[in-house]
Structure 1
């Protein structure tokens, strides 16, 4: 394994106005700059495979590869070279603290001539940036740092340039709507991970059935008959489950024709995961990216627990707890109300509610990696998390390819 392939990375989605994911920003630790440079300038096939692992998704049951936004250190601009990766794969981000001089402008012009798109990261206007703005394709404004008054001033001033505006650090849906109204075309931030709670919102009947199912499947000894009855209460759920278990991806040797047969052949652990997938994918009010994020984190926690042979947290508990941690965002319902709707152990409830206990610590570490919060990851487990994260991304793509989108 090469040094470059071991760099610890995470991805953050970039959305258009319809909340379709159009790219991912790849986040990495500052002390990994040398390794990132090797990825960018290394062997084309190796670089492409690694980048593909972080930027591939399944959309409408079809594989799709999205561009990667990547911050380049100053040294990359000073080198008289171009990235080994295609300009279709990479959007070059110029950091806000990079000095604007002839060396930088010549390098950016060289990248532009080669077809690469240029994004200015965490941009704060100053007249010295005008030559760089003339070359930029995308300007990223940190709305949290600037404040909305300064954001409006920047938007007004930047209209003279041809670059598209990207609003980053969006924390709420209200901020998202305001940025759309201001004319931003691209959006980035943690707003998707927070519920847009609607007063009086109640779980729909099929949502309630799914939560009861999740609860029953996570009992110490689930009741097969009750699980079967709950699934069969919802004909659409029965259809989707049978379609998934009969898919080519699961490679069953003979068709499964009943819910009970699916439980017997797959086992409760597998059925638990598929029910979780169906529950999330059915939330049409939310972008599919939220499903991807939650499932990636749940699978990551499960894999880490298995790899470190944890005696304090079970693999199934890790999956469920991490899934529930942001399920409120998928259902647009208050977390506390959600926890009252599902019969799970107090240990899992406490972990989801306030991050307490071994499971709570695992959930926090899992989402620290997913959010690029490197300081909250244990140094002695970085390789386990890095490897598990890549495996989780692959697993989510494989499983989402089985989901019915009608």
Structure 2
């Protein structure tokens, strides 16, 4: 694959993910510019739909994709599935040909979105067709009002872009926005002296045991059986088609014996972290799982013969947003776990190999392609391998 492809979640008012915007760059050398927009979009379409499969990246949700003028007016789009949202770039002039093409696509059942929208009367015909209007709500506070006053379309949903903090989200919600895009979900809202709820203390105990260099399997089993939901999820997972067992495994003891210590611990990290989340954290848990598998896979390239280090890379990715999930300071949380020094330091931002790999996946998630390229060079990992492992991690996280 010769293109970067990442994604950014789009949330509704209930903070549930309803779609992903595909973020991409058409080559490892250059950002697309001006007349290369067509090539960039064609490249992402080829990669996502032909080589990878859009459902593997968006997990069955809608995919927002930027379309420049030429591709809107050509016959490319009708070949795409209807869960693609046609995002019309702000650089597209609303010529009669463009408006007619959009009217045709709307009639075909596609969702139309106007990107980075700033009101101008020349866009009224497109506004009348649009399903979604994306606005940088911090830069254009009254844009929504202008739009509603100048269109007959009463079904427009307004999407607030660049929502980077919980405060941004609350402001946009109060302004009447319907959808929200940004990385606000991945930043911790620290509540001072916030206690971990009693019902979640068992999860912290299990994490504490899992984080030990030499896990006490007997103690781990005794902790697991205190929570029936963990037992249920653990057994359901091992009896799934993923392992293709001929006879069912009926107890945690059997499961751990079959999987082995390291593999069991990895799955228990996934299950426990998912159980710890609040009402808004399902996307955080998914992102943590993707990071864990990505870090482990890159770690296996750096240390192919060291399973312990590979496992530590998995832990670093898995716990990288624990502060967001529990709304507590990361250093305070890590004080309750028995992590190795290098793992602990990586999670609080100190530089080492674990941190470099974590920074690599974070830069990839955020579509900071230049940073991503620099980190991959520093780690001596081919950038095409980075893309491959990201897609693999997304696919793996979607299966479980």
TM-score, normalised by the number of residues in structure 2? 0.85
1:138 is aligned to 2:132: yes
User: Which moved further from structure 2: 109-118 or 89-98?
Assistant: 109-118
Residues 28 and 372, structure 1, Cα contact 8 Å, conserved in 2? yes
Q: Distance in 1 between matches of 2:113 and 2:128?
A: 12
Secondary structure at the counterpart of residue 28 of structure 1: strand
Residues 137 and 172, structure 2, Cα contact 8 Å, conserved in 1? no
- Counterpart of 2:343 (choices 336, 345, 348) is 348
User: Which moved further from structure 2: 355-364 or 331-340?
Assistant: 331-340
1:11 is aligned to 2:7: yes
- Give the 3 Å change call, closer, same or farther, for CA 51–154 of structure 1 in structure 2: same
1:52 aligns to what? 55
Deviations along 1:339-378, one digit per CA (max 9) or x if unpaired, are 1121112211111111411111110101111222212113
- Give the 3 Å change call, closer, same or farther, for CA 220–19 of structure 1 in structure 2: same
1:158 is aligned to 2:147: yes
Q: Distance in 1 between matches of 2:323 and 2:226?
A: 23
Secondary structure at the counterpart of residue 134 of structure 2: strand
Question: How many residues in Structure 1 have an aligned counterpart in Structure 2?
Answer: 379
- Give the 3 Å change call, closer, same or farther, for CA 203–180 of structure 1 in structure 2: same
Deviations along 1:287-334, one digit per CA (max 9) or x if unpaired, are 422221111111111112224546899221111111211121112222
Deviations along 1:215-242, one digit per CA (max 9) or x if unpaired, are 4334333222222223234344334333
Q: Distance in 2 between matches of 1:130 and 1:299?
A: 46
1:169 aligns to what? 162
Residues 242 and 256, structure 1, Cα contact 8 Å, conserved in 2? yes
- Give the 3 Å change call, closer, same or farther, for CA 39–242 of structure 1 in structure 2: closer
- Give the 3 Å change call, closer, same or farther, for CA 271–204 of structure 1 in structure 2: farther
Alignment of 1:281-360 (within 5 A): 281-282=274-275, 283-309=277-303, 314-360=309-355
Q: Distance in 2 between matches of 1:381 and 1:44?
A: 20
Residues 214 and 272, structure 1, Cα contact 8 Å, conserved in 2? no
Q: Distance in 1 between matches of 2:123 and 2:249?
A: 63
Residues 167 and 187, structure 1, Cα contact 8 Å, conserved in 2? yes
1:71 is aligned to 2:76: no
2:367 aligns to what? 372
Residues 92 and 116, structure 1, Cα contact 8 Å, conserved in 2? yes
Residues 212 and 343, structure 1, Cα contact 8 Å, conserved in 2? no
Q: Distance in 2 between matches of 1:115 and 1:165?
A: 19
TM-score, normalised by the number of residues in structure 1? 0.84
| Higher RCO (Cα < 8 Å, 6 or more apart) | 1
- Give the 3 Å change call, closer, same or farther, for CA 243–91 of structure 1 in structure 2: closer
Q: Distance in 1 between matches of 2:76 and 2:394?
A: 31
1:260 Cα offset (Å): 2.7
2:398 aligns to what? 397
Alignment of 1:376-391 (within 5 A): 376-378=371-373, 381-391=382-392
Gaps of 5+ in 2: 26-30
Q: CA RMSD in A?
A: 2.7
Secondary structure at the counterpart of residue 162 of structure 2: strand
2:28 aligns to what? none
Q: Distance in 1 between matches of 2:226 and 2:55?
A: 41
